[in-house]
Structure 1
């Protein structure tokens, strides 16, 4: 029960890595608000753990204001924030990505971190405590060809994590990020372009451990970094990647 008594918001919590983090947090004693653009999916996941859910577009300032107010009303405080929601564009040459695709990727993967900070950091600073975890990617450490602007958005998130960490440390707020390799999530097919045994084989060949990241892998790592056991850890980008970035 490493998170007993803690309250948490997990964005993109209705599926994939986010769902794994929600389930791990709940198992460790946290009260979790599951936030997702898929409101029905968020409610379904929440029903099996804490019962708290919200439909939210993480690229919307108004939605963040509403989510923050809802979290304070439901839970009385916010100890942990996990910025997990993310999207990608399909693999293609960088010059072929449309402006609309670029704007959407940066809005969901980067602007969402900015917006969440505007609304939730003041609460954590006032409480003199808090843990923020951004879900970045190995793509931000060792970029894959033809995912150029997705790579860049995750690199932005890694740098934002470090900048947030050094600024917020004096206020008792820790900020870290996880860098998973691709996993069995709704985004996997988008990363690969198409899901065939040959393409999966090439993807897996780049991972020394020989498998994808799982929601359970992410839940375990997230639990540690957001618990008091990691009280001396901030500004870290932890690779949960089976050795891909070595």
Structure 2
């Protein structure tokens, strides 16, 4: 079986310093992509890029706060200076929050989740489209969640933001299809990442076990499994796919 090629493509990944973002950055760089890793965590981001470069691959780190429009604009300008216009953008940056009933959650929790998980994607998509329009097209891959396609009790702000990401994905896919810009989403369930592991610790062992065992495959997904699908989406093998969300959940929503 041939490996889906991303040779010489410039791929920008937000939230690229850990979890799904880091797994994707490492895999895509190993397949010949020029990767811009963007994250708020400078230490982790620079460490990952150093590791990728030491393996003989191409990557650079740019700090970003996706909830700030100016920070996102600076990121895309720096990325373009480094490797030229982006070919592919993976909007992976995201946060979660402690569970709580909708009426009991503080407004600050809502505003922060929407700012990072939805508005951050909006800012990055706008900058992506601008560069792609001047470069003959491209592909935007938004990381949503299974919480973006069904209910998610006790995490209403997160759920609302991830539903919004699906809406942005579908709308942009139709708007820019004629410009050769594809837009798709990936909807993972519980994946073994620092964010999910922290969440499972917070809800307690009993609830964590229940969440994992509730999956038909009886386990967490692995970041490398999500990265492998993202790598396929980044390749020309997915060239006729746009406006869709790929669900990777071990059968959770079946």
SS at match of 2:192: coil
- Quote the residue 1:237 is aligned against: 245
Structure 2 CA distance, aligned partners of 1:85 and 1:51?
A: 18
CA apart distance, 1:199: 2.0
Give the root-mean-square deviation of aligned CA atoms: 1.4
Say if 1:167 and 1:220 are closer, same or farther in 2 by CA, change over 3 A. same
Q: Give the conservation status (yes or no) of the 8 Å contact 2:72–2:123.
A: yes
Q: Give the conservation status (yes or no) of the 8 Å contact 1:141–1:245.
A: no
Structure 2 residue runs without a partner (length 5+): 53-57
- State the aligned residue count: 246
| Aligned 1:1-246 pairs, distance under 5 A | 2-49=5-52, 50-189=58-197, 191-192=199-200, 194=202, 196-246=204-254
Q: Give the conservation status (yes or no) of the 8 Å contact 1:9–1:82.
A: yes
Structure 1 CA distance, aligned partners of 2:138 and 2:239?
A: 10
Q: Give the conservation status (yes or no) of the 8 Å contact 2:34–2:59.
A: no
Q: Give the conservation status (yes or no) of the 8 Å contact 1:23–1:219.
A: no
SS at match of 2:172: helix
CA offsets, 1:89-128, max 9 Å, x none?
2111111221111111001010011111222211101212
Q: Give the conservation status (yes or no) of the 8 Å contact 1:88–1:190.
A: no
SS at match of 2:35: strand
Structure 1 residue runs without a partner (length 5+): none
CA apart distance, 1:57: 0.2
Structure 2 CA distance, aligned partners of 1:240 and 1:28?
A: 22
